[in-house]
């Protein structure tokens, strides 16, 4: 999955159906009993974030990613795993991009796969590059000002969403893949020749004997938890919110029960299922509880899940991939229809380094 920036951003103008509750915030006018939004920036590019993904029922419906090619160790896919051939574009705020940074870190690929961090503020024009904020940097690979320029360079006719993460091939000047789940699996197996240590080379987040169990977990954790927080937060009608938030907490209760018996979701081994869950949970209390109205419970209120989060946070320098400043600033400053003032909340104070007592 991905973090959404711009929908059909390369068009001069575009009309998108959305919902009446957004009229006052987005400046919409009704036409034939439908809300129509014409979104153009000063330079003529249409800009949008998540609003184009809201149905007439007020439900947030995530769109599928477009670039789905694969890097392989032997190059049979047309994209051979090589040192410093590929480049990641990420947001430190985005849970989907975060998956790839964790995979890169745990597999010891820091010297092989460099990355660029976009601005945490998702403003007009979409994801942009800046060197004026901590850990953000300018684009030294393509010299782009906005991520949409990189999508345009890869495909001049591209009219889809502009999302992170992006796996860019410097050799062929194109986007290989922008689906985080698939990039994570590439990092897991296809770059083993370049892992920093033999121990990291042997790490397998998707072992054959657990693949069925991992797939089963992903099948309900993605829609109900990973995407569930967005379905709740971006809902524009009460019924849509109610459905999403009840499914979310039913799924969280299920996770809590699993973790009452196991250290990790599949047992005693860290897998991609844990990584995919962690990137949502580590953001939950800081932004999803308040900003997305997922406030029935905090992760802090689930003793097993809170231990699980701290356990993973303290594993293999994963803490270095978590940046709450980016997370809180992005969500609370960028989603003006949810938080019009853009004021960033001060808390909560969470100690991710506190002892968790697991694995001993």
pLDDT digits (tens, 9 = 90+) for 108-145: 999 999 999 999 999 989 999 999 999 999 999 999 99
Amino acid 53: pLDDT? 83
- Which residue has 């601005």 as its token pair? 119
CB 58 within 8 A of CB 19: yes
Amino acid 65: pLDDT? 86
DSSP one-letter code for 136: -
* Letter string b/e over residues 163-184, b meaning 16 or more CB atoms within 10 A of that residue's CB: bbbbbbbeeeeebbbbbbbbbb
Q: Please give the C-alpha separations between residue 92 and each of 3, 66, 342, in angstroms, as whole numbers.
A: 11, 22, 19
Look at strands 161-164 and 3-7 and give their pairing.
Answer: antiparallel
Q: Encoding tokens for residue 230? A: 């967005």
Would you please indicate which residues are annotated as catalytic (active-site) residues? 94, 230
* Bridge partners of residue 60, in order along the sequence: 54
Amino acid 85: pLDDT? 98
Amino acid 11: pLDDT? 34
Q: Please give the C-alpha separations between residue 358 and each of 52, 105, 146, 205, 284, in angstroms, as whole numbers.
A: 43, 22, 43, 19, 21
Amino acid 360: pLDDT? 67
For residue 1, give every residue at least 6 positions away whose Cβ sits within 8 Å of its Cβ, in sequence order, or none: 62, 65, 96, 179, 180, 181, 222, 226, 227
Q: Please give the C-alpha separations between residue 278 and each of 4, 35, 326, in angstroms, as whole numbers.
A: 20, 37, 17
d(CA 148, CA 6): 8
Tell me the CATH architecture of domain 208-324: Up-down Bundle (1.20)
Q: Encoding tokens for residue 334? A: 């960028």
Q: Which residues of the chain, if any, have pLDDT below 70?
A: 2, 5-52, 360
CA trace torsion 190, 196, 199, 201 (10° rounding): 10
Q: Which of 360, 352, 338, 249 is nearest to 307 (CA)?
A: 352
Q: Which of 86, 318, 71, 63 is nearest to 182 (CA)?
A: 71
Q: Please give the C-alpha separations between residue 64 and each of 45, 58, 104, 135, 306, in angstroms, as whole numbers.
A: 22, 19, 23, 29, 31
Q: Give the domain ranges of the chain.
A: 11-53, 208-324
Amino acid 1: pLDDT? 72
Amino acid 359: pLDDT? 86
Q: Which of 160, 215, 209 is nearest to 185 (CA)?
A: 215
d(CA 319, CA 193): 25
Strands of the 115-117 sheet, one edge to the other:
115-117, 86-90, 166-169, 174-177
- Find the length of the chain: 360
Is the CA virtual torsion 139, 140, 144, 145 positive or negative?
positive
d(CA 335, CA 349): 23
């Amino acid at each position: 999955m991905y973090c959404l920036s711009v929908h059909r951003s390369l068009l001069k103008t575009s009309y998108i159906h959305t919902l009446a509750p957004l009229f006052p915030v987005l400046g919409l006018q009704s036409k034939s009993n439908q809300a129509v939004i014409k979104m153009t920036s000063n330079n003529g590019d249409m800009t949008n974030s998540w609003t184009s993904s809201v149905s007439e029922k007020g439900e947030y419906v995530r769109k599928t990613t477009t670039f789905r090619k694969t890097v392989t160790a032997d190059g049979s896919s047309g994209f051979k795993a090589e040192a410093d051939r590929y480049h990641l574009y990420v947001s430190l705020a985005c849970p989907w991009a975060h998956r790839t940074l964790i995979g890169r870190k745990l597999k010891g690929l820091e010297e092989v796969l460099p990355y660029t961090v976009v601005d945490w503020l998702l403003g007009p024009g979409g994801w942009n590059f800046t060197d004026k904020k901590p850990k953000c940097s300018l684009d030294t690979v393509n010299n782009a000002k906005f991520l949409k320029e990189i999508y345009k360079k890869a495909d001049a006719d591209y009219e889809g969403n502009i999302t992170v993460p992006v796996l860019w091939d410097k050799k062929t000047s194109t986007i290989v893949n922008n689906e985080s789940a698939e990039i994570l699996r590439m990092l897991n197996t296809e770059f083993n020749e370049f892992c920093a240590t033999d121990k990291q080379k042997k790490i397998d987040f998707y072992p054959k004997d657990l693949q069925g169990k991992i797939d089963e977990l992903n099948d309900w954790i993605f829609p109900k938890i990973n995407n569930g927080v967005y379905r709740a937060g971006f809902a524009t009608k009460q019924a849509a919110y109610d459905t999403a938030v009840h499914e979310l907490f039913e799924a969280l209760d299920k996770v809590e029960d699993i973790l009452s018996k196991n250290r990790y979701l599949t047992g005693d081994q860290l897998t991609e299922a844990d990584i995919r869950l962690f990137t949502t949970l580590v953001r939950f209390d800081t932004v999803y509880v308040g900003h997305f109205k997922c406030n029935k419970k905090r992760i802090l209120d689930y003793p097993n899940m809170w231990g699980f989060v701290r356990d993973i946070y303290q594993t293999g320098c994963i803490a270095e991939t978590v940046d709450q400043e980016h997370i809180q600033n992005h969500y609370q400053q960028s989603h003006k229809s949810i938080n019009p003032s853009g004021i960033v909340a001060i808390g909560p104070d969470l100690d991710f380094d506190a002892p968790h007592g697991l694995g001993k």
